[in-house]
A and B are shown apart, each in its own frame.
Chain A
Amino acid sequence: MERRGSFSPWLRLRSSPSVVEDSGMSQTIFVQEKLPNGLRVVIEVMPHVQSAACGFLARTGARDDSRQLAGVSHFLEHMCFKGTRKRTSIQINIEFDQMGAQYNAFTSRDRTFYYGWVRPEDFDRQLELLADMMRSTLPPDEFETEKNVVLEEIAMSRDDLASTAYDILYEHLCADSDLAWPILGYEETIRAMTRDQMHEYFRRRYAPDNLVLIVAGNLDPDQVMDSARRYCGDWEPAGETNGQRVRPQMREGTAARAMDRFHQQAIMLAYPAAAGTDPLDETAEAAAAILGGVNSRFYWNIMQKGLSPRAGAFRDEYADFGALTLFGLCEPENCEKLVEAMRREAAELVEKGVEPKEIARVKNLRRTSLAVESETPFYRLGQIADDIEYFGAPRPAEARMAAVNAVSAESIREYFERFPITGPGYLISVGPRNWPT
């Protein structure tokens, strides 16, 4: 959940010697090092750009909240901008602005990411600032004011049909698990939360052995490492990892939430999917794209039949869990037709397989998207964070393209054998119509 800006739940917008890995093919240069206190530093050197970006990946998110403290990860993300021993909240913001930085933070279910994008000459100053924020004092006099900001964010989210439906989906799909509550938390948990409770969570989860510093840009990696040691070297480790996370058992079922304030009906139909660490990760992405991406089956056979102005499929992936969600908006009287069409398209894909041109499309578009991503350090941060979470290390572009090239009709068939989408799944419906009853 970004601290500033829009949020769309349909999309996912986070001492050992230096090791230099040169892939040889694409000249991707990664430098990685772990400081004695456990802070991992990953640098991608991009000599062809005129900017630099960095971010602290806190390997903690909403699933690490407890039900009683639902929303603490996200609220904490806000509080890290509110003051340190050296700076007030206003000084933090002003300093970013003085550098002309494009900066923000977001919280998801499994991570929190703080980032900024600047000119190379301002990189060190920005790194020092972000590092200072990671040792926030969570100023007590700012706590209640920021609590009101989070409550406003919750209210804004409730006015948004897509956000509301997405939260309801997880509440049912992953009931009784640490993925069930909204990233923003509930109004009552936020109101009841104390600064001491947040501080205890912060102490455990923002220790250097649970953080990763990710850097990309036109930079000298030795200088970056020197800065990392200078700004982060004295942080105390806490020894806590993510081992307590429990893989959720996804449920099947149906839930409807009638809400008169909305005019359209949001439909979501979710199935278990490959985790981010699964060897079929790229195949899972391809399957979702063929079913509900650009020029996809949903586009031609659902939207272009006039059933829905917006329909598609997306995959949420975590290290231990994945979900493939088919979604669509429709006129309330068209719910049955939309769900029927979604199920029909899913069954057709599973039973008859994919066409060669569909596989080619995915690969061709991926090739272009990899080229676009390589243009800016800012784009690279998020992908490196994913690679670290799911593969343990950043991957050069050609390794990722090789994974895309491995997608085939056969791998998609294998994927749907392991993760079928022809069963009941979990169906949720949110909007003016109380359907299904």
Chain B
Amino acid sequence: MTENIEHKRLDCGIELAVLPLAGRPVVAVEIRILAGYAFERPEYLGVAHVLDEAIVKGTAKRDGRALNDAFDAIGSTHSSYAGRERFGFSCLCLPEFLERAVALHAEMIRTPSFPPEDCAVAVELTSQTLAALEDDPQELAKKLLHRQAYGEPLGRHPLGEEETLERIGREQILDHWQRYFCAARMQVAVAGAVEPAAVADLFEREFEGFRRGEPDLDGLGFQFNAARSHHEKDLEQEQIAICFPGPAAQDEDFPTAQVIVGLLAGGMGARLFTEVREKQGLVYWVGAWSDQSRRSGMFHLGASTTPQNLEKTYTTLLREIDRLSEDLTTEEVERAIAGIVIRNQTRGDITRARAVELTEDLFYHGRPIPTEEKMARVQAVTIQRICDYLAGHPRDRLSVVTLGPTPEKSDAL
């Protein structure tokens, strides 16, 4: 059944999509602002994350505690994050509290007070979180790989660098907010038992007079750098992180890439889990996924294993990419497609998942895409299309990071 999604750019400048879902017990509001860490000034890396810590600490009307108490008074869950290209706010509330929840978000986004003492704490906590990254091997390997493979500015890490954090104060936070927090850079999705016209009126009202700014229609792309590096660290396991270019979300090959990821890691019956873990017992964790910037895409493979299994795990990962173009079966492709289509359907019971999906559509495609249309594209993928794609895009340029106890000069590397 085709759903009636309302999509428009409001007079205030916000791009809004509303998915009415009658009978749902909660409403999900997802706000995205094109203000992520890729837009930071190079000398103040980490400022978007610091802004995220500081924006809930008060507005022109109330201090931080009062602001959070106001959300709690309506039982609204709310969170925010500084992503690569987008700054995000997520909110879930009961339908009767939607107006209040949106009003509180508008107050926070439009009139943050950024109290100086809270800004200093936000920098300090970001610095500590950056230090804690050393105790998170998987995230650390990801950081190293992104820096190596993606180039500037998409290869940055959200927490910035120690030396750039030291330069950040209220002035820099305010600068990032003033440059990028504006209506034309906002994409909003709302899902639940709501009436689209009423939601549009609500956002018009709450954001009327907010600086409009200019929409960013271009987006950013990865500047892929093929390289290999090892980072010695006192760990029990070696982290293996691999990436290579894939299609952008708008590319006609993107559904093929989705199926390729499904073939490699869509479930426990997929190739990586079967070949690396089930048959050889080399790992507990192994995975594959795609990472999309607005205008480009990347395939990723990852695993962690003890040093004696490093070489075997690495060669098996590469072998499985190559084997995709050698012995695919129709059943296997159908299974990968079923995984994507059916999981999309079952997750549809989650209101928040529907709102998040809408924000992704707005960001990558500039419009909501009906679920049926997206799934039809996936269902149209065939063995031939996969083989054609792989033949035209050989994995001859890889970016690889290993992190762990193996000495640099080991034969395994």
Contacts and interface: CB of A to CB of B under 8 A. Distances in A.
Interface of A: 4, 48-51, 81, 89-90, 93-103, 117-119, 122, 144-153, 155-156, 158-161, 260-264, 294-295, 300, 303-306, 308-310, 329-331, 357, 360-361, 363-369, 371-372, 374-378
Given A309-B129, A360-B72, A261 B338 contact: no
B69 interface: yes
Contacts of B65: 295, 300
A308 B128 contact: yes
B2 interface: no
B234 A260 contact: yes
Interface string B164-199: 000000000000000000000000000000000000
A364 B135 CA distance: 35
B280 A102 contact: no
Contacts of A371: 25-26, 94
A295 B351 CA distance: 24
B376 interface: no
Given A4-B268, A365-B77, A368-B76, A375 B237 contact: no
A93 B345 contact: no
A32 to B, nearest CB: 23
Contacts of A149: 277, 281, 283-284
B267 A93 contact: yes
Interface string B70-83: 01111111000000
A152 B26 CA distance: 41
Given A146-B281, A263-B132, 18 more contacts: A48-B23, A81-B268, A94-B335, A96-B268, A97-B269, A99-B338, A103-B268, A118-B346, A119-B345, A152-B283, A152-B305, A308-B128, A309-B125, A366-B75, A369-B77, A371-B26, A375-B26, A375-B351
B264 to A, nearest CB: 12
B177 to A, nearest CB: 20
B261 to A, nearest CB: 13
Given A50-B346, A264-B132, A372 B338 contact: no
B227 interface: no
Interface residues of B, number: 71
A51 B281 contact: no
16 contacts: A50-B345, A93-B278, A97-B267, A98-B269, A98-B338, A100-B339, A148-B282, A152-B304, A152-B305, A156-B285, A160-B135, A295-B68, A304-B57, A365-B75, A368-B77, A378-B346
B350 to A, nearest CB: 6
Contacts of B69: 295, 357, 361
Contacts of A152: 237, 281-284, 304-306, 309
Interface of B: 23-26, 57, 64-65, 68-69, 71-77, 92-94, 118, 120-121, 124-125, 128-129, 131-132, 134-137, 234-237, 266-270, 273-274, 277-285, 304-306, 309, 335-336, 338-343, 345-346, 348-352
Contacts of A357: 69, 72-73
Nearest to B337: A100
A115 to B, nearest CB: 13
Contact of A261 (B26, B234, B340, B343): B234
Contact of A97 (B68, B132, B270): B270
A359 to B, nearest CB: 11
Nearest to B334: A98
A261 B69 CA distance: 40
B92 A118 contact: no
Nearest to A49: B349
Contacts of B270: 97
Contact of A364 (B75, B277, B279): B75
B268 A97 contact: yes
Given A93-B268, A357-B69, A367-B75, A102 B94 contact: no
Given A295-B69, A309-B129, A97 B335 contact: yes
A102 B280 CA distance: 24
Given A4-B268, A50-B346, A159 B235 contact: yes
B409 to A, nearest CB: 21
A156 B132 contact: no
A304 B121 contact: yes
A106 to B, nearest CB: 14
Contacts of A102: 343, 346
B339 A90 contact: no
A233 B281 CA distance: 35
B26 A155 contact: no
Nearest to B57: A304
A303 B56 CA distance: 14
B72 A306 contact: no
A145 B121 CA distance: 49
B296 to A, nearest CB: 27
B178 to A, nearest CB: 24
